[in-house]
Amino acid sequence: MTALSLILPSTEGRGSVGSCSLNSLVVLLVLGLLGYWSINTYSTWRRLRHISGPRSAGFSKWWMLRNTLGGSMHLALKAACEAHDHLARIAPNTLVTDDPEVIKRQWAVRSKYTKSDWYDAVRFDPSRDNIISLRDDEQHNALRAKMAAGYAGKENEGLEHGIDRGIVAFIEMIERKYVSEGAIYRPMDLARKSQYLTLDIIGDLAFGKDFGHLAEDKDVFEYIDQTEASMPVMMLVGVFPVLARIARSRLLRRFMPSENDPHGFGKFIGVAKQVVADRLLAKDPERNDMLASFLRHGLTREEAEGEALVNIIAGSDTTATAIRTTMLYLMSSPQAYRKLAHEVRTAAAQGRLSSPITDEEARNLPYLQAVIKEGLRVFPPVTGLMPTVVPPGGDVIRGVPVPEGTEIGWSAFGVQHNKEVYGIDAETFRPERWLDVKDEEQLRSMTSTWELVFKYGKWQCLGKTVALMELNKVFVEILRRYDFGLLNPPSPWNSFSAGIFIQSELWVKVTRV
């Protein structure tokens, strides 16, 4: 042994000692993270431990994720409310209710409840908010005030005529390709054709020209196919809103829809930008349509582009669902079908109906109005959770204290199938309930609850007038000319809930009256 070896420390085994130290650090880090997660999970569970709900919902979002991706969230929310006395915990910081009075209070004009980050998932254009996704109440109210006149038709003289043009094109498509006569058999997918109708109407109203779906009888920009294909991602973002913020980052934005896309929603972004640019360049003061009203009331170029996109998604998908589902319930309810057909055909034979029927004439057909209400009630087209945030100081809901910062959503099917409001047969499609009710107070309760289909108060749907006008016309115009029959009654369609509904394969046989 040399003198030097006595002075310097030995290096033998140093690698194994360093490796052990690193492993110890990793273990400590993992244990620390698990400890933090456990404490955080416990504290989150503890603040709402007094509110019952599905098993595991207090500790994770697994229950929400499973039902969302399964396409049955609307039914799961309804069942949770029924099982837990109208207020259920469905995630660590999320509740759901089917009590219409609670929902009205939360959505009221002067309510201090605000939108939760769930609304980040409905930011259709990744670069900006829209009237639905905007969470700041003051900004939302200012934008809403600029748009109200255009939706209401007060400054849009062509609103009803635009809908009429779409209805006429729809009838022409049916007449041209889908009427079965004798040995000629021409089945029609009413699910797909209904969306062609609503897309073209929205195109006419929002852009001044339809998209050509009905004329060409096809998904012109592959919007429907690509929207359906992207639904799993949108649903995932609805459960985990943080993903929406990540997706809007500069790194991932190039994977989002773009105006340069040749098809799908990106194509509509490009169309919206071009139409708005052309309109601003033309500066036509005589133009009276929805876009002209928006611009006249101060919408910026970017805001106008964004709201045109909202029209496409919120305006076409939901109204198409209302048409499909109401027709399915009518075809499955022979007595209701016969009553509506008789009312329409009798009024037409007596010369009481224009062609196309006017909105005013339609509102004077009582059974038609009952059918429209009942169709929207028994199968509401929008079933997203749409949670709001409990304001500072907390709240008491149905006698239960709820701390501030808690999110509370609604069960659309639970609200609209409420037996205390609509009677013991609330699950049943029965238009007569709207005509047979004798008690004025009960009718007011039914009507105010039904109106929640279009939201309420400060967040009421601006497109309500347009949607009801479309429904007032379409059922009359098809039933005055044709009879419809289901081709496969045991399995009439494919229907998948994604907050809005993805529906297809509603095959019908159309014959002339």
Which H/E stretch holds residue 467? Answer: helix 464-479
Cβ within 8 Å of residue 511, ≥6 positions away: 179, 180, 181, 482, 483, 485
Angle (nearest 5°) at CA 374 between 118 and 414: 40
Coil/strand/helix, residue 351: coil
Among residues 121, 198, 210, which one has the least CA distance to residue 463?
198
Residue carrying the six token digits 């009710």: 437
CB 375 within 8 A of CB 399: no
Measured CA distances, 134 to 94, 130, 267, 302 (Å): 20, 6, 23, 14
DSSP-derived pairing of the beta strands 87-91 and 94-97: antiparallel
Asked if residue 380 has a cis previous peptide bond (ω within 30° of 0), the answer is no
Compute how many other C-beta atoms are within 10 angstroms of the C-beta atom of residue 336. 22
Show the tokens assigned to 465: 């007038």
Coil/strand/helix, residue 289: coil
Among residues 502, 428, 442, 420, which one has the least CA distance to residue 81?
420
Angle (nearest 5°) at CA 494 between 132 and 507: 115
Compute how many other C-beta atoms are within 10 angstroms of the C-beta atom of residue 231. 17
What is d(CA 198, CA 320) in angstroms, rounded to the nearest whole number?
6
Coil/strand/helix, residue 174: helix
Compute how many other C-beta atoms are within 10 angstroms of the C-beta atom of residue 183. 5
DSSP-derived pairing of the beta strands 407-410 and 94-97: parallel
Residue carrying the six token digits 């930008």: 273
What is d(CA 379, CA 376) in angstroms, rounded to the nearest whole number?
5
461 in a known ligand binding site: yes
Cα dihedral 433, 317, 63, 424, rounded to 10, equals: 0
Residue 324, sorted as left (phi over 0), alpha (psi -120 to 50) or beta, turns out to be: alpha
Among residues 201, 204, 225, 170, which one has the least CA distance to residue 318?
201
Cβ within 8 Å of residue 169, ≥6 positions away: 197, 200, 210, 214, 215
CB 471 within 8 A of CB 319: yes
Residue carrying the six token digits 């709001």: 388
- From the number of C-beta atoms within 10 Å of its C-beta (0-12, 13-18, 19+), residue 47 rates as middle
Among residues 47, 42, 43, 113, which one has the least CA distance to residue 401?
47
Task: List residues forming the annotated binding site.
Answer: 461
Binding site for heme: what residues are annotated?
461
